[in-house]
Amino acid sequence: MLKGKLKLPVPEKALRVFPDRLGSLVAGFDDKEEDNGGSDVAFEHGEELETFQPNGFKSDRASDDDEKFQEELEVKVRPRPDKDGAGPASVSRVIAADEKRSDLEYELSRPEINLEKLQRIASTGLPDGGRLRAMAWKLLLGYLPPSRDLWEKELTENRKKYANLKEELLQSPSKFTRKDGAFSPDEQHVDRDMDGPLQRQEISQEDHPLSLGKASVWHEYFQHTEIVEQIDRDLQRTHPDMKFFSGDSSFSRKNKEAMRNILILFAKLNPAIRYVQGMNEVLAPIYFVFTTDTDEQNAGNVEADSFSCFVRLLSDSVDHFCQQLDNSAVGILSTLSRFSELLKANDEELWWHLEFTSKVRPQFYAFRWITLLLTQEFNFQVILRIWDSLLGNPFGVQDMLLRVCCAMLLCVKSRLLSGDFVANLKLLQHYPDINIEYLLQVAQDLSPDTSSFRLSL
């Protein structure tokens, strides 16, 4: 089996940080392990995160026909008018959107992709539907190399590795064909028409289901039973108002099964992290976007591609899921401290009010914002738009994530300044609807180096 310890990467500050190859979080996935400044750790469990009901959009489906439902999904994720400016889009906005789509299509068709230009386009929002967002996210996450000539080779290798992982790690030990000459399930079959006594097969102590030995394949199998049950419960709660993820249709069951495989594999291959409640929410946008890819080959490998990109995305924030690292320089408390400093640098009045007057500390609200990448604070359509900016940020996901979180406070500054502990905590744990483009512009304009930024409300 593929086993080993997790290498926790130390992010670089100047450039975006994603692994160069599939699964540097996944032990045994790379041919060579590089010394990236991390350390080998082996923790037992991560801390579970409290879950809240997400505010996704609804999509009604009349049948289980995949193609018809796919068309419906592409229609449903089209941007709705901004709350602050309802009404039909102006001609200029339509023209601008068409120009952006044309620029993106041209860039993605080039033999060598200009990642800096792609990041600039993504930061302003990628088109819904079709394969453009799926292709762009794969490039921004480093799953696809900039050179198109290398795409087929990279995709083939990574998809083959994922298939091997599933075959090896997602089967019950009873299905394994023993390499030591023991029997396989097919060899157990005895023809009832044959005369003579039944043949008893010998099973080694390590292969016995009741074995307590740590070397037993059954011991490891039963260790993950509780994790699998938690994953199943969380998948039932993933965007329950979206038929893509919920319900008893064959389409939704297929999607949940694929996401289940991804999360179980991640847990098994990363014993230092395992599965932490809420990872299903981080996986959901990736899996959803990749299903919109109209390329037949990509559509048939959504699960494998989603696993690879899920690993890459978590590499930028994996330390936040380790309770044992909370007080370290790479833990969640350090990140919350940087978030607090960012707010102080941009609006010291609001920072003082939250920290000392109403005493609403970042641990009470921003912990969930940061660890789950804002997937439970907005509806699904808005989440995709925010992630365009997160992935398109040249300084990495975490840099833009903290900016967005800070902007969320600035955009409700007047309400926060007039609120007490209870009112402010309720507001921040149930963030109101907002013009998302305005919010992202505020986030982009923030500077961690000065305190001169003020937002007029």
Tell me, what DSSP letter sits at residue 28?
A: T
Asked whether residue 428 is domain-assigned, the answer is yes
Asked whether residue 401 is domain-assigned, the answer is yes
What is the pLDDT, as a whole number, of residue 186?
47
Instruction: Answer yes or no: are the C-beta atoms of 270 and 263 closer than 8 Å.
Output: no
What is the pLDDT, as a whole number, of residue 92?
81
Backbone angles phi, psi at 43, to 5 degrees: -95, 160
What is the pLDDT, as a whole number, of residue 318?
72
Question: d(Cα 205, Cα 184) in Å, to the nearest integer?
Answer: 16
Surface-to-core class of residue 322, CB atoms within 10 Å of its CB (0-12 exposed, 13-18 middle, 19+ buried): buried
User: CATH number, domain at 428?
Assistant: 1.10.472.80
Rounded to whole angstroms, what are the CA distances from 354 to 67, 370, 401, 402?
49, 18, 20, 17
Tell me, what DSSP letter sits at residue 41?
A: E
User: What count of other Cβ atoms lies within 10 Å of the Cβ of residue 328?
Assistant: 13
Asked whether residue 386 is domain-assigned, the answer is yes
Query: Which tens digits make up the pLDDT trace of 192-221?
Result: 444 545 444 454 555 544 444 545 555 556
Residue 53 CB contacts under 8 Å (≥ 6 apart), including other chains: 240
Residue 384 sits in which domain range?
A: 324-445
Asked whether residue 149 is domain-assigned, the answer is no
User: What count of other Cβ atoms lies within 10 Å of the Cβ of residue 417?
Assistant: 15
Q: What is the pTM of this model?
A: 0.74
Per-position pLDDT tens, the chain of length 457: 444 433 334 344 334 444 443 444 554 454 444 444 443 433 333 334 443 333 333 344 444 445 544 444 443 444 444 444 444 557 888 888 888 899 999 999 999 999 999 999 999 999 987 799 999 999 999 999 999 999 999 999 999 999 999 999 887 555 544 444 444 444 444 444 445 454 444 545 555 444 445 455 555 565 678 899 999 999 999 999 999 999 889 999 999 999 999 999 999 998 888 899 999 999 999 999 999 999 999 999 999 999 999 999 998 777 666 665 666 666 789 999 999 999 999 999 999 999 999 999 999 999 999 999 999 999 999 999 999 999 999 999 999 999 999 999 999 999 999 999 999 999 999 999 999 999 999 999 997 644 333 443 3
What is the pLDDT, as a whole number, of residue 452?
37
Asked whether residue 168 is domain-assigned, the answer is no
Helices 332-346 and 397-410: crossing angle, nearest 10°? 50
Structural domain count, the chain = 1
Q: What is the DSSP string of 424-442?
A: HHHHHHSPPP--HHHHHHH
What is the pLDDT, as a whole number, of residue 329?
62
Surface-to-core class of residue 376, CB atoms within 10 Å of its CB (0-12 exposed, 13-18 middle, 19+ buried): buried
Asked whether residue 194 is domain-assigned, the answer is no
Question: d(Cα 133, Cα 293) in Å, to the nearest integer?
Answer: 8
What is the pLDDT, as a whole number, of residue 239?
96
Asked whether residue 383 is domain-assigned, the answer is yes
Query: Which tens digits make up the pLDDT trace of 294-353?
Result: 999 999 999 999 999 999 999 877 766 666 566 666 678 999 999 999 999 999 999 999
Asked whether residue 218 is domain-assigned, the answer is no
